[in-house]
Structure 1
Amino acid sequence: MTSNHSNEALTEEKKGTFPKAIPYILGNEAAERFSFYGMRSILSTFLVAQFFNPSGNPVLQKVAEAKSNEMVHMFVALAYFMPMIGGLVADWFFGKYKVIFYVSVLYCFGHLTLALFENNLDMFSLGLLIIACGAGGIKSCVSANVGDQFDKSNEHLMTKAYSWFYFAINAGSVVSNIFIPVIYASIGAAWAFGVPGILMAIATVVFFLGRNKYVHVPPSGINRNNFVFITYYALTHLGARKEGESWLDVSKAEYDHEKVEGVKAVYRVLAVFAFIPIFWALWDQNLAEWVLQAKKLDLNTGLGYTFLPEQVQVLNPLFLVSFIPVFTYVVYPFFEKLGIKTTPLRRLGAGFLLTAVSFVIISLIQTSIDAGGQPSVWWQILAYLVLAWGEILVSITGLEYAYTNSPKSMKSTMTAIWYSAVSIGNLGVALVNGNIAKGGFLAQLDGASYFWFFTGLMFASTVVFMLVAGKLKETKYVG
């Protein structure tokens, strides 16, 4: 009797269908990612050509590119810092729907500012600031909003929904990286920045149209039992620590014991995450420094197609989507059969190494350019391929490691910290380029030496990681 009842319950549970809100969320995400990556695809080359070296003077090119790189990486640093702010504001005060909708409206004004003020650096910079706050402010809310739409009757469909969600992200990225550079080359910057703005407006309208179909999770108010508050209390009460206790244990006098243990788990993960900003410092150059390098390459593929400099970066999401199943179903099982367990830490180490190798290729390309050569775009395509392999091993594995090694109460915190690692990495590159632009100590990083510097940094970081990884303790929280 009990068995039949269980079977009926299971059958009832499996009857669920996709929530009606999902198509609106997917449409919103595809259009928003088109707007963000479309704008970003031409940003580096536009800043040099329009503001920092409009005359194309070779003497000014190094400083112009450094200024462009500094601005782009500061933009990305802010965009990936804002998810933490957006997530807290949504969870504590306004709820996800209001944050996504109102910040999206602000986001549209950012794009409009870029399109209207293509000749005014101050106003253009303001537009970038607004877009960074908009893109980052909604980032953590949108992905979490997908999960909010499911209940017990259809939770078995959540994995498929997230697969479609990430497909929408990559579809928006690929399409915009192909077409926005064409618009820029053929009819100018105003339209090239305007079209992403139109797509962002469409994204906002699509999201608004689904307003009555969303599951709205109300804000919870300020939660004192969080990572920041518990850490602050521990640091300001170290004198109360007893012998044999962790420095965080003093917080148990004021905060929930389970949450304090969760914060301890976060710090264990941070020992791994300490190496992640260096990875992102290199990775994000494929959408900035590599694009500027592409202008100096022979972009004729020999296959009847010649790339625009801003289009080569489209290969990153294409390679990524193509090789994720290859790694999942071929590469990892192959090494497992050889008796080499593909643990998260080993994958991260291999990913760091491959990222460094991609920069070896880029450095050699730049060495040839510095010597007066014009290397084939195929060499940069090879670098994009190796970088995509590194990204699969680092980005996907890093998120998995963060999820499995942090308790349920701290999983959102870990997502925010992951985005912060992207921000820190880009901030570091921005500071390097700012120093170069001002003729500081790092101005000696000219041409290939710039890329060799980051190559060496990644190799050194990989060696240190491999030495430390064996001593890192894993505590899994799954189920």
Structure 2
Amino acid sequence: MGKKKELGKESADEPHLEAMQGPTLKYPKAVFFIISNEFCERFCYYGMRTILSLYLVQWLMYSEDTATVVYHAFAAFCYFTPIIGAIIADSWLGRFKTILILSIVYAIGSISIALSAIPDFIPPEAFTFVGLVLIGLGTGGIKPCVSAFGGDQFIVPAQEAQLQKYFSVFYLSINGGSLVSTFITPILREDVKCFGQNGCYSLAFGVPAILMVLSIVIFVAGKPLYKSKKPEGNIVLRVCQCIGRGIVMRVKNRKGEKREHWLDHAEDKYDKKLIADVKITLNVLTMFLTVPIFWALYDQQGSRWTFQATRMTGDMGGWTIKPDQMQVVNPLLIVIMIPVFEAVIYPLFKKINILQKPLTKMGVGGVLAGLSFVLSALVELFIKPTEAIIPMGGEAQLRVFNTLNCPIIISATGDVEIDAFEIEPLQAWENLHIAAQNSKTFKIKAKPGERCDPRLLETELDVGVIEWTAQSYALHDGVGSSPIIKISETSIDSPQKSQNGNGKVKVLVNAKDDGDNVVEFKGKTAHTFTVTGEAAFSDIFEFEPDNYEILLNGQIIDSKYAIKVGGVYTFVINEMNNEVFQMTITPESSLNILWQIPQYFVMTAGEILFSVTGLEFAFTQAPLSMKSVLVAGWYIAVAVGNMVVIFVAEAKIFNEQIWEYLLFAGLEFIAMIILFLQALLYKYVTIASDEDAEEAKQEKVILESERL
């Protein structure tokens, strides 16, 4: 084999190599610049990606489905562009120039997103998408170049041991950058105030952008020390050309000479060794047909699982876990669990003789990924009782508040029927499912109850509802000596829970006059706003969970009221008698966010069995000369997996998230049945030598580093 011939040549120069392996052969200092560059770049990428889905919902006001589509479209793009970057580097510019140019593109994209989050500065949506495209080109384009460029700095085989340590440190720098940024950027997003607003997306995106600029500075600083190889052509491009030639010639020769394999028709232009290697590689790649489904589940940690976390409580007593911070669990578990698998679990499997073949391990890993989505569906089941009830198509929500100091009986007939209902003072009536197409106006009768001013008469009032919308009205008696039952202007409600883990508050004030009324909520922090009108609703505000004292125009109205994580409330304040009523529109989130840890744990175990084993399988079963083709195949699988998520999110098959989780779990189980059937027919290839096996493992580490 080619490897043995190389070893034979090297043996002739053993004295020279022994001399090179002595103390005169120093560890290349250039790699420290490359490793530092990688830490900063991964900090930027994972910091930005961690908060991206929440940014799309909270800042750009997208729905969770639309945000999921954008998030996974971006992820798919990031895994298509590495193939372009590899071709550019290997065929034209070389690795140094490719990394430098695309890193600048990357930095511009990061800065663009940071600027888009500054209020009223630039068009946020346009600059966000420009930024995402540039980041996708940058991070994807440099992905296949950086680790390999670091490897170029070593003299092999003289520095083989040092090279292996480099890849270990390189992998550590990736995980270090992702761990730190995944923890820090959610804090910047929520806890730092800027531009007069709670939370600071511009800083949360800005810090990763600064780290990306720093990575370029570090990378350029090491230029005098780098060893750069000239472009030698890209094997992926050659393989694609060979396959294309085989297809074209097979069609042309369909009535001519029969060949054993359709690729043999490319022998007129490509040598037999390349064709043989392509055949083996294609055989291995067919075993990756189910890989995209695994990545469809895996990459939802940053979208669907993060949105699920927003509907849970992260309260740990004196500290709160933010929804997007839960993404740190996966890389943290990876760092812990891989050594455990290598030192304990795999030796145990070997001792009892189970899961010894790579494809079997991959199948079990895929099943675990499916089970993690069953667990997420179970968590969703427990979240459901605290979920917001949102008006759907063909319906509207209506709430009518009574701000008077006596009961009012309301009723309606016709298009909307309301059985006579007595609303106690400062209480409310609600119907969460009123049939409505577009908009509808109807009349309700408001009749004074007992204890009301005898001058109040039964009144007919106009009420309007709008499809897909939750609305509130307030009944009041007006200001002056001749009271009459009146109804306020409509107020749009927002029953959805806060994406930040806060409580949402609206205030309705029945005032002594129609002037300005200053309302203040005092807890650990204070929130002050003005409500204008004799019976008027405030805007909707987000408050940190706490117990709050309520003041109206500087006067304490009543005792403290609890605002809890995820709760949505309307406070009715009657200035006449200093009374307050707290109505819960949506109950607080009661399920703790730590209940997501089991699904993260099972997914991480599945990742180790499926992804890490899959990479080792690829590099031990295909020719090592085809490693770039395997890299390309793996990237395409990740990209296609994200496209599957986009399809499901856009199809909007289910109204409830629990069924979507179970759908993905079912797809993964079906995919693993297919993989197990493929495994039964697959014949494993034995690596020719220990050196080949070791090189295959090394290449597996490279690919795993590039995937991250």
TM-score, normalising length: structure 2 = 0.63
CA RMSD, aligned part only? Answer: 1.9
1:449 to 656, 659, 666: 659
Contact 1:370 1:447 in 2 (8 A): no
Equivalent residue for 2:29?
A: 20
The one of 245, 251, 263 aligned to 2:278: 263
Aligned residue identity for 2:182? N
- Name the CA distance, whole Å, in 1 between partners of 2:22 and 2:273: 33
Shift of 1:371: 3.0
> Hey, what does 2:89 align to over in structure 1?
90
**2:429 aligned residue:** none
Counterpart residue number, 1:282: 297
Partner of residue 591, structure 2: 375
Give the one of 305, 309, 312 matched to 1:294: 309
Q: 2:683 aligns with which of 473, 476, 479?
A: 473
Give the number of the structure whose residues are more often helix, by fraction.
1
Determine if the alignment matches structure 1 residue 211 to structure 2 residue 220.
no
Q: Sort the Cα spacing of 1:308 and 1:125 in 2 relative to 1 into closer, same or farther, 3 A.
A: same
Distance 2:116 2:164 in 1: 42
2:345 to 317, 331, 337: 331
Residues 463, 445 of structure 1: alpha-carbon distance in 2 compared, 3 angstrom cutoff: farther
Give secondary structure in 1 for the equivalent of 2:328.
helix
Q: Distance in 2 between matches of 1:445 and 1:157?
A: 55
Q: What amino acid sits opposite 1:358 in the alignment?
A: S
Equivalents in 1 of 2:687, 2:83: separation in Å?
22
Q: How does 1:192-211 map to 2 (within 5 A)?
A: 192-211=204-223
1:168 to 148, 173, 178: 173
Distance in 1 (alpha carbons) for counterparts of 2:249 and 2:14 = 52
The answer for the alignment partner of 1:396 in structure 2 is: 612
Take 1:224 and 1:280, find their aligned partners in 2: how far apart are those partners?
22
> Kindly tell me: are residues 221 and 336 of structure 1, through their superposed partners in 2, closer, same or farther at Cα, counting changes over 3 Å?
closer
Aligned partners of 1:421 and 1:370: how far apart in 2?
33
Q: Which runs of 5+ in 2 are unaligned?
A: 1-10, 118-122, 194-199, 387-588, 693-708
Question: Structure 1 residues 117 and 249, CA, compared in 2 at 3 Å: closer, same or farther?
Answer: same
Q: Which residue is 2:127 aligned to?
A: 123
- Is the Cα contact below 8 Å between 1:297 and 1:377 reproduced in 2? yes
Per-residue CA distance 1:56-111 (angstroms, 9 max, x = gap): xxxxxxxx000000000000000011110100110000000000001101111001
Is the 1:24–1:207 Cα contact (8 Å) retained in structure 2? Answer: yes
Give the TM-score normalised by structure 1.
0.92
Within-5 A mapping of 1:31-70 = 31-53=40-62, 64-70=63-69
Maintained 8 Å contact 1:110/1:130: yes
Report how far residue 300 of structure 1 moved.
2.5
- Cα gap change, 1:237 to 1:322, in 2 (>3 Å): same
Task: After TM superposition, give the deviation of residue 337 of structure 1 in Å.
Answer: 0.7
Matching residue within 329, 334, 348 for 1:320: 334
The answer as to whether partners of 2:41 and 2:212 remain within 8 angstroms in 1 is yes
State the identity as a percent. 37
Judge which range, 199-208 or 15-24, deviates more.
15-24
Structure 2 CA distance for partners of 1:6 and 1:92, relative to 1, 3 Å: closer
Gaps of 5+ in 1: 54-63, 437-441
Take 2:685 and 2:83, find their aligned partners in 1: how far apart are those partners?
Answer: 24
Instruction: Check if 1:423 corresponds to 2:636.
Output: no
Closer, same or farther: CA 422–283 of 1 in aligned 2, 3 Å: same
The answer to whether residue 452 in structure 2 is matched with residue 236 in structure 1 is: no
1:237 counterpart SS class: helix
For 1:159 and 1:445, locate their aligned partners in 2 and report how far apart those are by CA, in whole Å: 50
Q: Which secondary structure state, in structure 1, belongs to the residue aligned with residue 223 of structure 2?
A: coil
Point out the more displaced range, 293-302 or 107-116.
293-302
Distance 1:357 1:316 in 2: 16
Counterpart CA distance in 2 for 1:14 and 1:339 is 43
The answer (yes or no) to whether the contact 1:44–1:68 under 8 Å persists in 2 is yes
Match of 1:226 in 2: 238
Q: Aligned pair count?
A: 459
1:344 maps onto 2:560 in alignment: no
Amino acid at match of 2:637: A
Structure 1 residue matching 2:681: 3-state secondary structure: coil
Rounded Cα–Cα distance in structure 1 between residues aligned with 2:353 and 2:246: 43
Question: 1:301-345 CA distances to partner (integer Å, 9 max, x unpaired)?
Answer: 46x542011101101100001010111111111011112252211
* Mapped contact 1:265–1:475 kept (Cα < 8 A): no
In terms of fraction of residues, the more strand-rich structure is: 2
- 2-structure distance, mates of 1:222, 1:181: 40
Match of 1:57 in 2: none
Partner deviation per Cα, 1:195-244 (whole Å, 9 max, x = no partner): 11000000111011111111101012466972211111111121436446
Cα 1:137/1:224, change in 2 over 3 Å:
closer
Residue 60 (structure 1) aligns with: none
Q: Distance in 1 between matches of 2:358 and 2:655?
A: 34
Shift of the alpha carbon at 1:477?
5.1
Cα pair distance change 1:368/1:14, threshold 3 Å: farther
1:389-442 CA-partner distances (Å, limit 9, x unpaired): 111111111111111122132111111211111111111112222233xxxxx2
The residue type paired with residue 608 of structure 2 is I
CA contact under 8 A between 1:298 and 1:377: conserved in structure 2?
Answer: yes
Which position in structure 1 is the counterpart of 2:163?
Answer: 158
Say which of 621, 625, 635 aligns to 1:405. Answer: 621
* SS of residue in 2 equivalent to 1:226: helix
Distance 1:301 1:462, change over 3 A: farther
SS of alignment partner, residue 17 of structure 1 = coil
2:148 paired residue among 144, 151, 169:
144
Equivalent residue, structure 1, for 2:138:
134
Distance 1:135 1:30 in 2: 13
Aligned counterparts of 2:83 and 2:236: Cα–Cα separation in 1: 16
Cα gap change, 1:343 to 1:121, in 2 (>3 Å): same
Letter in 2 for 1:376: N
- Which structure has the greater CA radius of gyration? 2
In the alignment, the residues of structure 2 paired with residue 99 and residue 180 of structure 1 have an alpha-carbon distance, to the nearest angstrom, of: 28
Asked whether 1:179 is paired with 2:389, we answer: no
